[in-house]
Amino acid sequence: MKKCSLIFLLFVFSLCLNAQTDILHQLNSNFETGNLASWRFVEVSSNNPAKSAALISTNAHSGQYAAKVSWATNPVYPEIIGSSHVIPRYYFGTNDCLNEGADRLLAMGLKVIKIWYYNGAETPNIMYPWNSTWPTNIYSLVQGLSVPHFSTLFNKPFKTFVLNVASMVNPTNPYYWKDNITPAQLAQEEQEFYLFAKALLTNFQGTGKTFVLQHHEGDWHLRGHTDATLDPDPAAISRMIQWLNARQRGVTKARNELQAQNVQVYHAAEINLVVKSMQDGKPNMVNKVLPFTNLDLVSYSCYDACLSAAVGDNQLLFDALKFIKLNMPDNSFFGNNNVYIGEYGAPENQYSATQISAIMSNTVNAGVAEGCPFIIYWQLYDNELVNPSTTLPVTNNSDVRGFWLIRPDGSQSAHYNYLYSLCN
């Protein structure tokens, strides 16, 4: 009798193991094919042999989804944390403002910088005007690499350069695809990103540098405005998917062709409306675009989640990052850790010091905990004027909203000191 009972228990245990394996396989299949509605469990990332697979319940914050979970072990902060540097409303010294600001970030110990390259009407002479001479006869992304201000920057000892960049398909409107995109334009998008990625891989082979090519806050451009209460046009969603996949094909083609060593070029989208999709199912890039792409990375401009820490909700950003991972297909480079925080911050002149500290530290903690490869602050010098008619360059701290590491009067913000302490 005891022997029969033991055999029966072993048989039942075997069935349970097989059933659990089948569930995991089905979850993986649903994730990869975009059948996200069937997810009700979480697969714990096992890229690291020290990690194991498990099933855990859906996230309690929304009750509607689950996501892949990851851990960050021994983060190298200088290679993760960075800052944007663009359209500064003030400057210091006599060097061109792009490289003057870059040197400030290097002095902080940061090895990640986010800048604007050639991006439609947002040309370098507009985005970096101070003490600078920019040629006007640049007709390709590759040609821009020879511009002295950019060549100087790219030879500085940063580990990662994140570039907001667009093709020259429409020189004044890189988001032309919202209204229409043709097969010829898709082919040109692919070719321009192929040539640009190829040039970066060739020029910087052996340097250990990484270049991430992205666009800015795509949920706004998907709509053509900044009213988040209005849903995007489904036809525009379809065209955005085509546009992003064309850019990605160009980058992938260059990587596969060159097999360059000790240099990386990746392509990313940037999303900025996640919480409403996560909580209410609203259509945005995160749930209507990302699942139908094969991108290397996705950047999250995370104001819709990170600012909640000012009122004590530290969990919302963690949940948003998990939700993005659920919707973002994995890839061979980053696994499910292919989501980075591409923009975070809070205007110091509009929040208390306690609130600022809560927002900033919680964002960094969430990014590290969720395995984000980059966490990028907005920004070095503030770009947002309180009064648009203020004479430039500004000299008073009150003339801008307070998105800064260094203020107009030259003083350093508390977040400057926080990031410095992490990176040194």
Q: What residue spans define the domains of the chain?
A: 1-66, 74-423
Residue whose token pair is 């199912």: 281
pLDDT 10s digits, 283-309: 999 999 999 999 999 999 999 999 999
Distance CA 284, CA 276 (A): 9
Cα distances from 419 to residues 3, 94, 191, 358, 374, in angstroms, run 64, 26, 39, 14, 13
User: In sequence order, what are the residues at sequence separation of 6 or more whose Cβ sits closer than 8 angstroms to the Cβ of residue 50?
Assistant: none
**CB neighbours (10 Å) of residue 138?**
18
User: In sequence order, what are the residues at sequence separation of 6 or more whose Cβ sits closer than 8 angstroms to the Cβ of residue 419?
Assistant: 81, 83, 108, 109, 110, 377, 405
What value, to the nearest 5°, has the Cα angle with vertex 194 and ends 192 and 200? 105
Q: Supply the pLDDT for residue 37.
A: 31
Average confidence (pLDDT) over 242-265 = 98
Average confidence (pLDDT) over 119-147 = 97
Average confidence (pLDDT) over 338-359 = 98
Residue 394 has pLDDT above 50, yes or no: yes
Nearest to 173 by CA among 132, 213, 215, 211: 215
Q: How sure is the predictor about 73, in pLDDT bands with cuts at 50, 70 and 90?
A: low
Residue 345 has pLDDT above 60, yes or no: yes
Q: Supply the pLDDT for residue 401.
A: 98
Distance CA 174, CA 165 (A): 9
Cα distances from 285 to residues 168, 258, 280, in angstroms, run 23, 31, 14
Answer for the pair 76, 123: CB distance below 8 angstroms, yes or no.
no
Average confidence (pLDDT) over 183-189 = 98
Q: Supply the pLDDT for residue 75.
A: 83
As a whole number, the mean pLDDT across the chain is 87
C-alpha 25 chain-centroid distance: 29
Distance CA 70, CA 44 (A): 7
Distance CA 393, CA 266 (A): 35
Report the DSSP beta bridge partners of residue 268.
Answer: 297
pLDDT 10s digits, 2-39: 444 444 444 444 444 444 434 333 333 333 333 333 22
Class of 74-423 in CATH: alpha beta
Identify the DSSP state of 233: P
Residue 277 has pLDDT above 90, yes or no: yes
Residue 169 has pLDDT above 60, yes or no: yes
How many angstroms separate the first and last alpha carbons of the chain? 68
Largest CA distance in the chain: 92
User: In sequence order, what are the residues at sequence separation of 6 or more whose Cβ sits closer than 8 angstroms to the Cβ of residue 154?
Assistant: 145, 161, 204, 209
User: In sequence order, what are the residues at sequence separation of 6 or more whose Cβ sits closer than 8 angstroms to the Cβ of residue 398?
Assistant: 349, 386
Q: Supply the pLDDT for residue 9.
A: 46
Average confidence (pLDDT) over 403-421 = 98
Nearest to 403 by CA among 271, 303, 299: 303
Q: Is residue 90 packed enough to be buried (19+ CB in 10 Å), middle (13-18) or exposed (0-12)?
A: buried
Q: Where are the beta strands (DSSP E) in 33-139?
A: 81-84, 112-116
Q: Supply the pLDDT for residue 367.
A: 98
Average confidence (pLDDT) over 115-138 = 96
Q: Supply the pLDDT for residue 117.
A: 98
